[in-house]
Amino acid sequence: MEELSALWGGFIVVLNPFNLALMIVGILLGVVIGVLPGLGGANGVAILLPLTFSMPPTSAIIMLSCIYWGALFGGAITSILFNIPGEPWSVATTFDGHPMAQQGKADEALTAAFTSSFVGALVAVIVITFLAPVVAKFALKFGPAELFAVQFLTFASFIGMGKGSPFKTLASMTLGFALASVGLDTVTGQLRMTFGTAELLTGFKFLTAVIGLFGIGEILASMETGLSFAGTHARLRLNAVIETWKKLPAYWATSIRSCIIGCWMGITPGGATPASFMSYGIAKRFSKNGERFGKGELEGVVAPETAAHAAGTSALLPMLTLGIPGSPTAAVLLGGLLIWGLQPGPLLFVEQKDFVWGLIASMYLGNLAGLVIVLTCVPLFAAILRIPFSIVAPAILVICAVGAYTVNNAMFDVWMMVMFGIVGYVFNKLGYPLPPLVLALVLGDMAESSFRQSMLLSQGSLTIFWSNELVGGIMTLGALLLSWPVIAWVLDKFREAKPA
Amino acid sequence: MELHRLRTLGSTLPGIALGVAAALAAFTSPSAAQGWQPTRPVTFVIPAGTGGGADQMARFIQGIVTKHNLMNQPMVVVNKAGGAGLEGFLDMKGTPRDPHKLVITLSNLFTTPLATGTPFSWKDLTPVAMLALDQFVFWVNAESPYKSAQDYINAIKSGADHQYKMGGTGAKQEDQIITAAIERLTGGKKMTYVPFAGGGAVAVQLVGKHVDSTVNNPIEAVAQWKAGALRPLCIFDSKRSTYTAKVTETMAWSDIPTCKESGVDIEYQMLRGIFMAGGATPDQVAYYVGLFTRVMETPDWRQFMEQGAFNQTVMTGPQYRQWIESADKLHYDLMKEANFLAN
């Protein structure tokens, strides 16, 4: 139990008034950053990084990592209230969180989101505390083929998502892939589909698309229905937190599954966004209430939030042990480590005990503090919905536009957002599902480069995806999930064929 | 031989660096007071992603400027990594004569426009200063049997075509250029070059044995070397590194042989330089030269240089311009030969 004594040492480092104050400040800043679309956790940490140069490294990382936790919590708020994901990993939270808000159950959805986030983070920190060296070795096993297998599994677990025709799902996903391929091709170094314009060099930014598709699309749809918003007649329930907590234990299976998915995706640099999508897809597939997902199911909020937070937290592990960031925010923190005079890498745990265990202890305390802070604000957040929509809508539009502008500091992105808003509206009208498009847009790029790297390594042979147990296992699992609708259909036929 | 041209890139006298720095200090200190001063926050553009070598250096500079209070205005760091850095360069090109914008460059200043055919050249910018040259080291996994560069080259020669895999950052950029240079010494056997998104990821792929070798910059691989996971074969410089402090238990940077010593006659170094937008006035350039001189005088900078085993060559003015011109020509020739040019 060497880890426990080290962790205790870490708590002693953290538990002084200065560090505790920094922790609270960090969480509050993080929640604000998470709420504002466009200003993601990575940007927030990058902007505040210079403030920390004069601090001792441990205090600095405590504050910055708390901003990160705060942003993870905050991302869920606008997703649920306004259907605008503040962060990429809260896109999946909108699928059920926003319908719940429309039914007047925003407080329940928020409580579930925050609590699940906390559970996910807690499990991830425990994994970091006790399994860091083992897990770091596991992460090394992930080459391009293994990464592609993971991305394939994400797509596979999501493919049956569309409520309507599978062809519409396919069309939507294909459009997403097409959009993802715009910009520089990382394997050949050639520009693709930029048509000679400088604006398209960087490709379509995921956040711009999401803010438009979901946020603007939603507002257009609400305007059509006469500026009414169902959530406004929600009663304010001060005991909502307790009431929701009573319901949550029923989803233990989903929660455990999501924790595993989240930790795994955070450690192998998959990241929080695919983790939340994969977890949502798998929960939908295996839940008893699967067919009600997308219409305001509490479980549909629990699954992505647990996984996103577990992944976001465990993403710090490869950063500390290997010096590879598991997420963009971790990448900025990595830069911070160097400025504070620390060398990230395999020896950090040995050479900088105070720093590492102080950070880990702050993960426990920071998440707990974060949970308390955001839960107290649940009635406040829910009350925002009581403001008449005709007043809120222009404010949301402005925030969306600012968010889209912030992504790249470019006006072009604001026009892009408006265009995506119209696309989102039309998609809704015609019954094309948006999630497959978003998933393809966010993962398409990574999946493509992993696939082509694998093909380079194997010189064009697909057998690389079954070349060892790890990659073969994941691919087979993905293939099974992909063909699940067919398998289920065959099983049904089989049962019908021999009536007992 | 093309290799001779490669060599010109790194050949600098050790005295020049110190001499130039001293001359700069003498020249700029008095004039900085009454000369041009920034009146708005200064944006520092990084034409690369977060976590890479250029990003680390730029954020480190921002840290030094903030910590030592070297500028009367804040410095804001922005990553504009899209299109292998084109996003950042075109952004600089789009705001000529804006004195509140700096860009840090790596070799993509030369390679990206050549590989993509985009209308941008370093002549659209105003050169300020070369801060250092970044080294490239030939790395293999510590568990591999290759003790020297020659061992490894022999293995490639006697292996099957495309059998050995080189991991690197980006496509048609510096790592792949060095790979193309190595392939000229392997008796017609090609390597398989696998591009990854960033230098840190490349080092980890080598530790995980998904590739056979890399040409990572020192700072990208030093942590894994210290932990005993990687082995350096040789350094692509004309002479050994000057850093003699032990990095691992047995080796210092200066113990790594040059590639030429090991029979792999290749030299390549990468510019870590600063540019302003095009059309900057001499007193604006002088201000930033003064600023960076003071950055380079701090102990933090010296420590950073040692950590990343940088070649501390500092250049400004006409000398810097000349260096850029020759490096531009060199990259054109190398890329033309490797067939990396856009049609």
Q: Are B157 and B197 contacting, i.e. CB atoms less than 8 angstroms apart?
A: no
Query: Are A335 and B55 within 8 A, CB to CB?
Result: yes
Interface list for A 68-97 with B (CB within 8 A): none
pLDDT band, residue A234 (cuts 50/70/90)? low
Residue B14 has pLDDT above 50, yes or no: no
pLDDT digits (tens, 9 = 90+) for A114-137: 999 999 999 999 998 888 878 777
Closest CA to A312 of A333, A290, A294, A338: A333
pLDDT band, residue A291 (cuts 50/70/90)? confident
pLDDT band, residue A65 (cuts 50/70/90)? confident
User: Does B94 reside within a domain?
Assistant: yes
Query: Are A323 and B162 within 8 A, CB to CB?
Result: no
Cα A229-A233-A238 angle, rounded to 5 deg: 125
Regarding predicted confidence, which is higher, A90 or B97? Answer: B97
Across residues A83-93, what is the average pLDDT?
82
pLDDT at A326: 62
B295/B233 same-domain check:
no
* pTM exceeds 0.80 for this model: yes
Pairing of strands B42-46, B192-196: unpaired
B80: CATH:
3.40.190.150
B173/B187 same-domain check:
yes
Closest CA to A97 of A118, A82, A87: A82
Q: What is the mean pLDDT of chain B?
A: 87
Instruction: Tell me which amino acid residue A296 is.
Output: G
pLDDT at B124: 96
Rounded to whole angstroms, how far apart are CA atoms A401 and B330?
45
DSSP annotation string for A240-273 = HHHHHHHHGGGGHHHHHHHHHHHHHHHHTT--HH
Question: B227: which chain A residues are within 8 Å (Cβ-Cβ)?
Answer: 345-347
Rounded to whole angstroms, how far apart are CA atoms B269 and B177?
11
Q: Which of A49, A325, A457 sits opposite B59 (nearest CB)?
A: A49
Across residues A63-92, what is the average pLDDT?
85
pLDDT at A245: 87
Closest CA to B235 of B10, B48, B57: B10
Burial class (CB in 10 A: 0-12, 13-18, 19+), A434: buried
User: Does B229 reside within a domain?
Assistant: yes
Give the closest-approach CA distance of B215 to chain A in angstroms.
Answer: 17
Give the closest-approach CA distance of A237 to chain B in angstroms.
Answer: 44
User: Does B264 reside within a domain?
Assistant: no
Across residues A152-169, what is the average pLDDT?
73
Residue B4 has pLDDT above 70, yes or no: no
B30/B108 same-domain check:
yes
Q: What are the distances in angstroms from CA A364 to CA A119, A256, B98?
A: 11, 19, 46
Q: Does B224 contact chain A (CB < 8 Å)?
A: yes
3-state secondary structure string across chain B: CHHHHHHHCCCCCHHHHHHHHHHHHHHHHHHHHHCCCCCCCEEEEECCCCCCHHHHHHHHHHHHHHHCCCCCCCEEEEECCCCCCHHHHHHHHCCCCCCCEEEEECCHHHHHHHHHCCCCCHHHEEEEEEEEEECCEEEEECCCCCCCHHHHHHHHHHCCCCCCEEEEECCCCHHHHHHHHHHCCCCCCCCEEEEECCHHHHHHHHHCCCCCEECCCHHHHHHHHHCCCEEEEEECCCCCCCCCCECCCCCEHHHCCECCCCCCCCCCCEEEEEEEECCCCHHHHHHHHHHHHHHHHCHHHHHHHHHCCCECCCEEHHHHHHHHHHHHHHHHHHHHHCCCCCC
pLDDT band, residue B32 (cuts 50/70/90)? very low
Instruction: Tell me which amino acid residue B320 is.
Output: Y
pLDDT at A228: 61
pLDDT at B260: 94
B235/B306 same-domain check:
no
pLDDT digits (tens, 9 = 90+) for B71-112: 999 888 888 888 888 889 999 999 999 999 999 998 999 999
Q: What are the distances in angstroms from CA B42 to CA A407, B21, B200, B276?
A: 19, 23, 28, 11
User: Does B319 reside within a domain?
Assistant: yes
Using only C-alpha atoms, chain B has a radius of gyration, in whole angstroms, of 20
Interface list for A 124-143 with B (CB within 8 A): 139-143
Regarding predicted confidence, which is higher, A216 or A139? Answer: A216
Query: Are A54 and B56 within 8 A, CB to CB?
Result: no
Give the closest-approach CA distance of B77 to chain A in angstroms.
Answer: 8
pLDDT at B24: 47
Regarding predicted confidence, which is higher, A225 or B160? Answer: B160
Residue A168 has pLDDT above 90, yes or no: no
pLDDT at A38: 64
pLDDT digits (tens, 9 = 90+) for B226-260: 889 999 999 999 999 999 999 999 999 999 999 99
Rounded to whole angstroms, how far apart are CA atoms A294 and A87?
19
Counted domains in chain B: 2
Max mean pLDDT among A485-494, B76-85, B297-306 falls in B297-306
Give the closest-approach CA distance of A366 to chain B in angstroms.
Answer: 25
Closest CA to B143 of B228, B259, B257, B201: B228
Out of A247-251, A342-346, B7-11, B313-317, which region has the weakest mean confidence (pLDDT)? Answer: B7-11
Give the closest-approach CA distance of B41 to chain A in angstroms.
Answer: 13
Interface list for A 310-329 with B (CB within 8 A): 322-325, 328
Residue A336 has pLDDT above 90, yes or no: no
Residue A493 has pLDDT above 80, yes or no: yes
Rounded to whole angstroms, how far apart are CA atoms B211 and B216?
13
Closest CA to B137 of B257, B49, B52: B257
pLDDT at A12: 85
Cα A491-A492-A496 angle, rounded to 5 deg: 115
Q: Does B68 contact chain A (CB < 8 Å)?
A: no
Residues 6+ apart with CB under 8 A from B97: B277, B278, B279, B280
B326/B238 same-domain check:
no
Residues 6+ apart with CB under 8 A from A332: A42, A45, A46, A49, B50, B51
pLDDT at A359: 86
Domain ranges for chain A: 2-497
Using only C-alpha atoms, chain A has a radius of gyration, in whole angstroms, of 22
Helix, strand, or coil (residue A191): strand
B60/B93 same-domain check:
yes
Rounded to whole angstroms, how far apart are CA atoms A401 and A194?
23
Residue A207 has pLDDT above 90, yes or no: no
Interface list for A 39-58 with B (CB within 8 A): 42, 46, 49-50, 53-54
Own/partner pairs, B150-159, CB within 8 angstroms, 24+ separation: B150/B262, B150/B263, B150/B264, B152/B213, B152/B233, B153/B182, B153/B185, B153/B186, B153/B263, B153/B264, B156/B186, B156/B189, B156/B191, B157/B186, B157/B187, B157/B189, B159/B189
Residue B70 has pLDDT above 50, yes or no: yes
Q: Computed from CA positions of residues A433, A435, A439, A441, in that sequence, does the dihedral angle turn out positive or negative? A: positive
Model ipTM value: 0.83
Domain termination site, one of B194, B220, B255: B255
Out of A169-178, A403-412, B249-258, which region has the weakest mean confidence (pLDDT)? Answer: A403-412
Q: Does B229 contact chain A (CB < 8 Å)?
A: yes
Structural domain harbouring B248: 140-255
Pairing of strands B125-134, B165-169: unpaired
Regarding predicted confidence, which is higher, A445 or B277? Answer: B277
B221/B246 same-domain check:
yes
Regarding predicted confidence, which is higher, A70 or B201? Answer: A70
pLDDT at A235: 61
Q: What is the mean pLDDT of chain A?
A: 83
- B207 half-sphere exposure, CB direction, 13 A CA radius: 31
Max mean pLDDT among A226-235, A400-409, B130-139 falls in B130-139
Give the closest-approach CA distance of A321 to chain B in angstroms.
Answer: 10
Rounded to whole angstroms, how far apart are CA atoms A266 and A272?
6
pLDDT at A226: 65
| Phi, psi for residue A393 in degrees, rounded to 5 | -55, -50
Q: Computed from CA positions of residues A246, A247, A249, A250, in that sequence, does the dihedral angle turn out positive or negative? A: positive
User: Does B217 reside within a domain?
Assistant: yes
Residue A227 has pLDDT above 70, yes or no: no
pLDDT band, residue A206 (cuts 50/70/90)? confident
Instruction: Tell me which amino acid residue A92 is.
Output: A
Regarding predicted confidence, which is higher, A168 or B40? Answer: B40
Chain centroid to CA B190: how far? 25
pLDDT at B18: 46
Residue B123 has pLDDT above 90, yes or no: yes
Closest CA to A165 of A485, A408, A494: A485
Rounded to whole angstroms, how far apart are CA atoms A52 and A332?
13
Token pair, residue A399, equals: 């925030």
pLDDT at B280: 95
Token pair, residue B317, equals: 């003015």
pLDDT digits (tens, 9 = 90+) for A351-369: 788 888 888 888 899 899 9
Q: Tell me the count of A-B CB pairs closer than 8 A.
A: 146
Burial class (CB in 10 A: 0-12, 13-18, 19+), A125: buried
B22/B127 same-domain check:
yes
B152/B276 same-domain check:
no
User: Does B261 reside within a domain?
Assistant: no
Residue A233 has pLDDT above 70, yes or no: no
pLDDT at A452: 93
Interface list for B 165-184 with A (CB within 8 A): 165, 170-173
B171/B205 same-domain check:
yes
pLDDT digits (tens, 9 = 90+) for B168-216: 988 999 999 999 999 999 988 999 999 987 777 888 899 999 999 999 9
Q: Does B193 contact chain A (CB < 8 Å)?
A: yes
Q: What are the distances in angstroms from CA A476 to CA A152, A280, A391, A441, A480?
A: 10, 20, 51, 24, 6
Cα A40-A44-A49 angle, rounded to 5 deg: 150
B85/B35 same-domain check:
yes
Residue B13 has pLDDT above 50, yes or no: no
B154/B223 same-domain check:
yes
